Structure 1
Amino acid sequence: MASALTVLFLGCWLAGQRGLSGQLPATRPSISASPTRVIAPGRVLTIRCQCQCKGRRLFLYKDGIKIRELDAAGDGGEFTIPSARREDGGIYSCRSRSRSEPPDWSDRNDIVQIFVAELIFRNPSISLSPSGGVALGGAVTIRCQGRHQNMRFLLYKDGNPNALQDMEPAGDLAEFPIRNVSWRHAGNYSCYYHHKLYPFIWSHPSDPVELVVAGGSEPSAAPGLTRAIIGRVNAVAAGLLLLLLAFVCYRRTRGSECPAQRGKG
């Protein structure tokens, strides 16, 4: 019920924010880098901004400054750097904009940090302690061990474009503890290291290690029933929201006639 009320209130607020036009704000694009967030000089780097933004214009920002733009396809667009240079490293984000006036801008998406570096050092090893599955609320430590001293280690999780943690251990072993493990911690992790004094000399990435949260992937004791209830509530909320927006659109198009009609009465 709370979910349905939230959707209705959101619909009313959006209608007010858009001047009762019934136009929903643009979805915020997601961003990713391919083949990886750490790339050797001279390699092809592709930055993808993904959104449902057909007919809109996509803008790519580097360190907060707009550097490129293109017309979005149905699911976004790609910006390609044919031969990455060291200066291409930085923090990237993207936005979309409507072609109508006044322009309707999306919020900026999450960032992705790109490093263009020489991948010279051999990849570190990575492991979990304890190994195997970890129970909800438990603790686990992700260990990354390099082959050199005086290194800075960075830990990444698949699906997240940015480093989760970084540290500079005294030796060649970095430990990343995770306390009070939850469902969101499940997934594949990898790590890199680079020299403290020479940040453009990196290792190759470690092999991934999978953190399994013991007990399955559903946080509910009765997932089927919960999904059914949530599905019905959301369906009702969506229907009411459509009716609300239809009414707003009707008032928008017919509102100018109402005073005259009242005058005739």
Structure 2
Amino acid sequence: MVWIIVAVCEELRVNRCRTEEYKCYQTPGGRSCGCWLAGQSGVSGQGSYPKPSISISPGGVIPWGGNVTIRCWHQRLGMKILLYKDGAGNYLTYTDPAGSEAEFPITSARREHGGSYTCRYSNRSVRAAYSEPSDPVQIIVADPSLPRPSISLNLTSVTASGADATIRCQGQHVDVRFFLHKAGDLNPQRHMDPAGVAAEFHIPTVGQQHGGSYSCSYRPRSEPFISSQPSDPVQLVVAEPSYPKPNISLRPSGRVALGGAVTIRCECQCRGARFLLSKAGDLDTRRSMDAAGDVAEFPIRNVNRGDAGSYSCQYSTTLDPPVWSEPSDPMELVVAEGTDPAGPQQPDLPTTEPEGEEPRNPKPNISLHPSRQLALGGAVTIRCECRCQGARVLLSKAGDPDARRSMDPVGDVAEFPIRSVSQGDAGSYSCQCSTKWDPPVWSEPSDPVELVVSDGTDPAGTQQTDPPTTESEGEEAPPEHPDFTQANITRLALGAVVLLILGPILAEVYYSRPMGAS
């Protein structure tokens, strides 16, 4: 008769049973051991047969009320298979399969089903011989009563190769162990036992292999087989360094008034790519687009202060998983202070700002000195005057972002000289003032002023004629278009006088001839 006796062994430090005639093995987790009567059963401490294999399906954390199956198999026939659970003492159940494998289903998983399981097999004879225990497998059950943790990534948008990333998991309880999971991998990537309620998982020198979807969970240290539900996923996207970064620009360029419209344009050396537009520090503003060509346009139809900031874009393949480019250089969208251009205009604000309101700079004045019309090679100074002290002044030329110039004047006037005017300097100029805060607050643009460059020689050569005296004071007539109206009237009057004088003379000569003269 086979007697299987289970002895209670000293926790975590048991090497043998209490009596010499029993053989002992420590169950997974080290909390108890199983003993059997070696003399009558014929089972040695090492087992008479090779250990079987064991698996669970599905793997990973089992949802509350879910189903899981433990499968155990070996390479012999005519054997019964027994299932053990750590801490349960004797075997839980056994089966006599027709073949060499057995399945142990668990339906509607609960807390009590969580644990570490092994299996072994034995012959069916009176003098039983047992195999060694299998390697352990764990069943982790998700308890919906535990609050779900939150997860965040210190990097926004797509991460460049070689950067350092940190994934932070935040819970509500202490004395827990956090686990970091990556989609597609049933085993947790890493675990951590923090002192508080949060854990940070650092990924130094990010590479392509680190890209993927991450989530985290935690398990109470007192119940290692009970888990919280996983957090929402966070995506770690790693850029492919061989993909050239795209270009980003604004249409129209320059500052945008409140309520105005602007389009952020992203362009790459690619076809049929997916574009992602990101704003620094604001994950909620991310927008994506599948472009038919190599350009994607993201319009903002009614600009507000919240739209101001630093933008960048990236593109990816449409494969699954996608491969992303490096991010573009950042581009700053500056929203000028003022009202919506379509609405009523505000009067100039007083110099003393109401308490709690953000100061605004009034519209500056712009002028050209000495004149708005210049000959090639001449000199001109564009003068911008702000009704403020210590402002930063920006000079812009319509249609030419490269012509922008800025200055921090000592007073309230900034002067931008052009020492040798060329045809390329001609155009419409405006200026704006801003505070030196971070972020700056910009005024509305000044009224535009037109710089006209006439074709002609350098002012050091042939001088231009003075403008006609008929021009009203304060106005200048363009030298290349003189006024001929008065001269033409004078010529016509002289012609009429000559005709009046010649008419009677010719008539007298005609009638004074003799009648018979031939």
**Which category of TM-score, normalised to the shorter sequence, fits these structures?**
0.5 to 0.7
CA distance in 1 between partners of 2:195 and 2:253 (Å): 44
Identical pairs, percent: 44
Q: Partners in 2 of 1:205 and 1:179 — Cα distance? A: 24
Superposed CA deviations along residues 54-90 of structure 1, whole A, max 9, x for unmatched, are 9465443434976433234669442133565645322
Compute the displacement of 1:96 (Å).
6.7
Alpha-carbon shift at residue 206 of structure 1 (Å): 0.5
State the match for 1:152 in structure 2: 274
> 1:224 aligns to what?
356
Could you say if the C-alpha distance between residues 27 and 195 of structure 1 is closer, same or farther in structure 2, counting changes exceeding 3 Å? closer
Equivalence for 2:264? 142
**Aligned match of 1:177:** 299
The residue that corresponds to 2:152 in the other structure is 31
TM-score of the aligned structures, taking structure 2 as reference length: 0.31
Quote how far apart the aligned CAs of 1:200 are: 5.0
* Matching of residues 65-214 of structure 1 within 5 Å: 67-72=189-194, 76-82=198-204, 84=206, 86=208, 88-94=210-216, 108=231, 111-161=233-283, 164-196=286-318, 201-214=323-336
Following TM superposition, by how much is the alpha carbon of 1:164 offset from its aligned partner in structure 2, in angstroms?
1.3
Report if the CA contact (8 A) 1:113-1:161 is conserved: no
Residue 48 of structure 1 is matched in structure 2 by 167
Give the alignment's Cα RMSD to 1 decimal.
Answer: 4.3
- Tell me, in whole angstroms, the C-alpha distance in 2 between the residues paired with 1:100 and 1:184: 47
More helix by share: 1
**Preserved CA contact (<8 Å) 2:248 2:328:** yes
Larger radius of gyration: 2
Report the Cα distance in structure 1 between the residues aligned to 2:310 and 2:280, rounded to whole angstroms: 6
- Say if 1:28 and 1:151 are closer, same or farther in 2 by CA, change over 3 A: same
Question: Structure 1 CA distance, aligned partners of 2:305 and 2:217?
Answer: 30
TM-aligned CA distance change 1:143 to 1:104, over 3 Å: same
- Seen in structure 2, the aligned counterparts of structure 1 residues 199 and 49 have a Cα distance that, compared at 3 Å, is closer
Q: CA deviation at 1:214?
A: 2.6
Q: Deviations over 1:201-234 (max 9, x none)?
A: 4322101112223329xxxx96628xxxxxxxxx
Cα contact 2:181–2:189 (8 A) shared by 1: yes
Q: Is the 8 A contact 2:156 2:283 kept in 1?
A: no
- C-alpha distance 29-206 of structure 1, shift in aligned 2 (>3 A): same
Alpha-carbon separation, structure 1, partners of 2:220 and 2:310? 37
The runs of 5 or more residues in structure 2 that have no matched partner are: 1-145, 339-352, 358-518
Kept in 1: contact 2:239–2:325 (CA 8 A): no
1:60 to 172, 180, 192: 180
Structure 1 residue 191, shift from structure 2 partner: 0.8
Listed one character per residue, the Cα deviations across residues 115-139 of structure 1 (whole Å, up to 9, x for unaligned) are 2352212211111223333334333
The whole-number CA distance in structure 2 between the counterparts of 1:223 and 1:52 is: 41
TM-score, L = length of structure 1: 0.54
String of CA shifts for 1:158-193, please: whole Å, max 9, x gaps.
124578122222221110112333333222111111
Aligned counterpart, 2:46: none
**Counterpart-to-counterpart distance in 2, 1:96 and 1:211:** 42
Report the Cα distance in structure 2 between the residues aligned to 1:224 and 1:28, rounded to whole angstroms. Answer: 38
Residues 45 and 177 of structure 1: CA distance in aligned 2, closer, same or farther (over 3 Å): same
Structure 1 residues 222 and 195: alpha-carbon distance in aligned structure 2, compared to 1, 3 A threshold: same
1:48 corresponds to which letter in structure 2? I
Change (3 A) 1:80 1:121: same
